[in-house]
């Protein structure tokens, strides 16, 4: 079945460090890929998305590129801030209009 | 529109009782989804509606669970004869039309079964 596997956390970084959170997926056909973020005490919010191979999603300094050849959608940010501390979820929307989420990666950024 | 809303935000119930949750989606969205999220896990799909039609149900949705969306607007999720294993955050999300559009999530209803 379809699934998403993402890097286990928790991840702790110093402010201005480079962030990578790995995400790989298994799906038939051509899913859309998403990163959602959940800040403490809040609901899930869409961070970025990509709908076809080689698309790059970007928002708030975060980027992820849809790589069909490696079935990956890794999240990156060049310089993290304390305000980026949250849980990040990788997700796919398959051709049957069902979403599958990864288990989430907790990020803590320390000043 | 202020987004997807869910009510109640928290529910504590005793094992064996029935509970019902409500979700109000973004008004122009015709798709509505229910998920369950347990601690340390991502959301798990339960079911979704397109307008008033329930189009898909996960095998996680046992016969104690039922969801409705009678007029294609708000939706309810009922759990009968609750069990401790039902303790989780229940999330609702909505989206506009089919295809590649993202979902907008509500804040969730946290259920605790004692």
pLDDT the model gives residue A98: 82
pLDDT the model gives residue A30: 87
- B58-84 as b/e, with b when 16 or more CB fall inside 10 Å? beebeeebbbebeeeebbebebeebee
| Residue A13 CA: distances (Å) to CA of A23, A79, B59 | 19, 10, 39
Residues A51-66 have pLDDT tens digits of 999 999 999 999 999 9
Kindly tell me the number of DSSP H helices and DSSP E strands found in chain A.
0, 12
Residues B24-68 have pLDDT tens digits of 999 888 999 999 999 888 999 999 999 999 988 888 888 999 999
pLDDT the model gives residue B101: 67
Percent of chain A with pLDDT over 90: 83
pLDDT band for position A96 (50/70/90)?
Answer: confident
Whole-angstrom distance, CA of residue A4 vs CA of residue A105: 12
Which of B4, B56, B102 lies nearest to residue A46, judging by beta carbons? B102
**3-class secondary-structure state, position A27:** coil
pLDDT the model gives residue A71: 96
A100 touches chain B (CB under 8 A): yes
Q: Is the pLDDT of residue B72 over 60?
A: yes
Determine the straight-line distance between the first and last CA of chain B, rounded to whole angstroms.
Answer: 36
Which of A43, A98, A104 lies nearest to residue B56, judging by beta carbons? A98
Q: Are A84 and B25 in contact (CB under 8 A)?
A: no
pLDDT the model gives residue B86: 96
Collect all residues from B whose CB is shorter than 8 A from any CB in A. Answer: 4, 31, 33, 35, 40-45, 48, 55-56, 91, 93, 98, 100, 102-108
Whole-angstrom distance, CA of residue A94 vs CA of residue B100: 9
pLDDT band for position A67 (50/70/90)?
Answer: very high
Whole-angstrom distance, CA of residue B50 vs CA of residue A89: 25
Residues A4-55 have pLDDT tens digits of 999 888 999 999 999 999 999 999 888 999 999 999 888 899 999 999 999 9
């Amino acid at each position: 079945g379809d699934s998403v596997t993402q890097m286990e956390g928790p991840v702790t970084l110093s402010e201005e460090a480079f962030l990578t959170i790995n995400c790989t997926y298994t799906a038939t056909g051509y899913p859309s890929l998403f990163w959602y973020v959940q800040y403490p005490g809040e609901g899930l919010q869409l961070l970025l998305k990509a709908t076809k191979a080689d698309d790059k999603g970007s928002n708030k300094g975060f980027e992820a590129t849809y790589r069909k050849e490696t079935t990956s959608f890794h999240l990156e940010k060049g310089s993290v801030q304390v305000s980026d501390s949250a849980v990040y979820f990788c997700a796919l929307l398959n051709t049957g209009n069902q979403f599958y989420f990864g288990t989430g990666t907790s990020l803590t950024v320390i000043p | 529109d202020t987004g997807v809303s869910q009510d109640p935000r928290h529910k504590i119930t005793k094992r064996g009782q029935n509970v019902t949750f409500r979700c109000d989606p973004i008004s122009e969205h015709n798709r509505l989804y229910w998920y369950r999220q347990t601690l340390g896990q991502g959301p798990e799909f339960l079911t979704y509606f397109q307008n008033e039609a329930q189009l898909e149900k996960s095998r996680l949705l046992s016969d104690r669970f039922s969801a409705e969306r009678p007029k294609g607007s708000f939706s309810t999720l009922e759990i009968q004869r609750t069990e401790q294993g039902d303790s989780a955050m229940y999330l609702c999300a909505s989206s506009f039309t089919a295809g590649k559009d993202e979902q907008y999530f509500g804040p969730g209803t946290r259920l605790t079964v004692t």
